[in-house]
Amino acid sequence: MIDIDVLIIGCGMAGLVAARKISEANLSTMVIATGLGSTVLSSGTIDLIGYFDGGKVRKPMETLDEFISQNPGHPYAIVGRERILQAFQEFNEKYDSFTRYEGNLEKNLTLLTPLGLFKPTLLAQSSMIRGTRENLEGSKVLVIGFRNLLNHTPALIAKSLKENWEIDADYIKLDRSETQPVQLALLLESHSEEIIQSLNEHNLGNYDYLALPPVLGIRRTREILSEFEDILGAKAFETMSFPPSVPGLRLQQLLEQPCIQNGVEIRLGWRAVEIKTTKKGCQTQIVENDSKQEISSKAVIIATGQIMRDEIIASEKDFQGSINPQILEYLKTDKEMRLIFGGKSFENIFVAGSALSEKNMTGLGTALSTGYASAAEVIKYLKGN
Ligand SMILES: Cc1cc2nc3c(=O)[nH]c(=O)nc-3n(C[C@H](O)[C@H](O)[C@H](O)COP(=O)(O)OP(=O)(O)OC[C@H]3O[C@@H](n4cnc5c(N)ncnc54)[C@H](O)[C@@H]3O)c2cc1C
C-alpha cells in the first residue's frame, strides 16, 4: 500500500499549485488523476475577475470586495484578499522557466482574441503580453496566419482591428498544410528559422507589430518570438486562441515541471472512488483500469475540477455520502479549506479549484488562489506553521 503525507486528487492548476507548495515544505506528496482537466484545455491566460456586473473589469483587486459581497459563497470569499494576492505574487515569482507569466496585479490586460476583440485577463504568457489594446492603438499591425490552421482567421482579426478599434491592420496567410495548433507548434519548435525565412518571400513593408496565433513552439517560445522579430524587423506577439490552445498546454507543463523536480509522483489514469477518514488519516480507494488499490495519507486535497469530475464517496465513522457528484454542484469548505459535508468539517480532507465554484463563476485565478490556500492550510495542519 502507498503511504504518503498528502494525496492530491486532480492534476489541474489547483492540484499542481498545491502539490508544489506542499512538496516544498518537505511533505511527501502524490498527485493522482483520471486525466488532464480543463487547465490544459483553457486559453492559458489567468483571470482573477474579467467581467462583473455586465461589464469588463479594469482593476480586479479594486472590484474584489464588491464581487465578494455580491457572491459570498465564492471561493474568493473563503480565501480572502490577502491570500489571493500572495498566491498571485508567488506564482509570478516562482513559475519562471521555458515560459513565464506577466501582468500587473492591479490592472487587467486587454488581450487580442481570435475574433479581433479584446478580452480582460490578469496574467498572460510573456509571448502574448504585447497584444494589448493600449499597445496596439496608433500602430500598424500585420496579422500573420497559416492557410489551413483551424479556428484562426487573420482576415477577420485585421478587419475587426480596423473597423472596431481603428487600428491600422493588414494580414497575410502563409501556405502551410498543418491544421492543428499543436502540430504547428511542434514543427516551429524544431524548424522555426526555415519557416520564418519563407516569410521573406513576401514583401512585408514596415509594421510595428506582427500578430501571430499562439503556435510559437511549446518550450522554445521566447527564442522563436525573437527569431521572428530579428528576421522581420518588427515586434511580435501571440494572440489568444480558441481552446484547446497551445498556451494551455504550456501552462500544464509549467505547473507539472517543478512538481516532478521536487519528487512528486504524478499518476494519470488513476481514479479516486472512495475516501475513508478517521482522525488518524485517510484511506483512499483508487481504481486503475480493472485493478484497485489503496493510498494511505495524513491528508487529502480534492482538486477534481468542475466539468470532468468523477464521483467520490467520502465517509467518516458515522456518515457516508457522495462528495463529488457528476452533476454541476459545487463543494463547500470552511475558512481553513476543509471540506464541509453533512453540516460538519472533515478534519483532514481539503478542497481546491473549480470544484468549489458556484455555477460557472470560475477561472484559473480561482484554481490558483484555492490551490495555494489549501496547501497553506494542509502545511499548517501537518507541521503547525
Ligand atoms: C475551454 C475552456 C477555456 C477556459 N479558458 C479560461 C481562461 O481563458 N482563463 C481562465 O482563467 N480560465 C479559463 N477556463 C477555466 C479554467 O480552465 C478552470 O477554471 C481551471 O482550469 C480549473 O482548474 P482545476 O484545477 O480546478 O480543475 P481541472 O483543471 O479541471 O482539473 C481537474 C482534475 O481532476 C481530475 N479528476 C476529476 N475527478 C477525479 C477522480 N474521481 N479521481 C481522480 N481524478 C479526478 C481530472 O482528471 C483533472 O485532472 C477555461 C475552461 C475551459 C474548459
Q: pLDDT per residue over 12-65, tens digit each?
A: 999 999 999 999 999 999 999 999 999 999 999 999 999 999 999 999 999 999
Q: What is the mean pLDDT of residues 305-311?
A: 80
Largest CA distance in the chain: 75
Q: Of all residues in the chain, what percent carry a pLDDT higher than 70?
A: 96
Burial (0-12, 13-18, 19+ Cβ within 10 Å), 25: middle
Measured at the CA of 292, the angle between CA 290 and CA 297, to 5 degrees, comes to 150
Pick from 30, 40, 16, 39: which is nearest to 267 by CA?
30
Give the tens place of pLDDT for each residue, 206-262. Answer: 899 999 999 999 999 999 999 989 888 899 999 999 988 999 999 999 999 999 999
pLDDT at 318 over 70: no
pLDDT at 347 over 70: yes
Cβ-contact 149, 213 below 8 angstroms:
yes
> What nine digits make up the cell of 284?
483512499
**Residue that has been written with the C-alpha cell 522555426 in this structure:** 192
In short, whether 41's Cβ falls inside 6 Å of ligand 1 is yes
pLDDT at 327 over 60: no
Q: Give the residue ranges of DSSP H helices in the chain.
A: 13-24, 38-41, 60-70, 75-94, 133-136, 154-165, 181-198, 221-232, 246-261, 364-383
Can you give the residue ranges of every domain in the chain? 2-97+249-383, 132-238
Give the span between the Cα atoms of 149 and 142, in whole angstroms: 17
Q: 8 alpha carbon to ligand 1 midpoint, in Å? A: 14
Which atom of ligand 1 lies nearest, measured to the CA of 16?
25
Give the tens place of pLDDT for each residue, 138-175. Answer: 999 999 999 999 999 999 999 999 999 999 999 999 88
Specify the DSSP class assigned to residue 218: S
Length of the chain in residues, anyone?
A: 385
Q: 39 alpha carbon to ligand 1 midpoint, in Å? A: 4
Q: 301 alpha carbon to ligand 1 midpoint, in Å? A: 15
50, 132, 314, 319 from 344: Cα distances, Å: 33, 46, 13, 11
Give the span between the Cα atoms of 249 and 117, in whole angstroms: 23
Residue nearest to atom 53 of ligand 1 (CA): 38
Model confidence at 198, pLDDT cuts 50, 70, 90, reads confident
- If you write DSSP's letter for every residue of 261-294 in order, what string do you get? HTT-EEEES-EEEEEEEETTEEEEEEEETTEEEE
What's residue 133's pLDDT? 96
Handedness of CA 282, 303, 313, 320 (dihedral sign): positive
Model confidence at 86, pLDDT cuts 50, 70, 90, reads very high
Which atom of ligand 1 lies nearest, measured to the CA of 270?
43
Strand ranges (E), 87-162: 101-102, 109-112, 118-121, 124-125, 140-146
Give the span between the Cα atoms of 83 and 89, in whole angstroms: 10
The model's pTM: 0.96
Which atom of ligand 1 lies nearest, measured to the CA of 308?
37
In short, whether 46's Cβ falls inside 6 Å of ligand 1 is yes
Q: What is the mean pLDDT of residues 276-305?
A: 93
Residue nearest to atom 38 of ligand 1 (CA): 309
pLDDT at 328 over 70: no
Q: What is the mean pLDDT of residues 274-286?
A: 91
Give the tens place of pLDDT for each residue, 352-378. Answer: 999 997 766 779 999 999 999 999 999
Domain 132-238 has CATH 1.20.1050: no
- Mean of per-residue pLDDT scores for the chain: 92
pLDDT at 385 over 70: no
332-333 and 338-341 strand pairing: antiparallel
CA atoms within 13 A on the CB side of 70: 7
344-351 and 291-302 strand pairing: parallel
Give the span between the Cα atoms of 157 and 206, in whole angstroms: 19
The reply to whether omega before 244 is within 30° of 0 (cis) is yes
Give the tens place of pLDDT for each residue, 90-105. Answer: 999 999 999 999 998 8
In short, whether 143's Cβ falls inside 6 Å of ligand 1 is no
In short, whether 47's Cβ falls inside 6 Å of ligand 1 is yes
Q: What is the mean pLDDT of residues 271-290?
A: 91
Q: Give the residue ranges of DSSP H helices in 108-245.
A: 133-136, 154-165, 181-198, 221-232
Pick from 79, 24, 124, 7: which is nearest to 383 by CA?
24
What's residue 325's pLDDT? 63
Which atom of ligand 1 lies nearest, measured to the CA of 352?
26
Pick from 10, 17, 11: which is nearest to 86 by CA?
17
Give residues with Cβ within 8 angstroms of 194, minimum separation 6. Answer: none
> What nine digits make up the cell of 14?
489547483
Q: Name which residue leads in pLDDT, 47 or 314.
A: 47
Topology (CATH level 3) of domain 2-97+249-383? FAD/NAD(P)-binding domain (3.50.50)
> What nine digits make up the cell of 38?
480543463
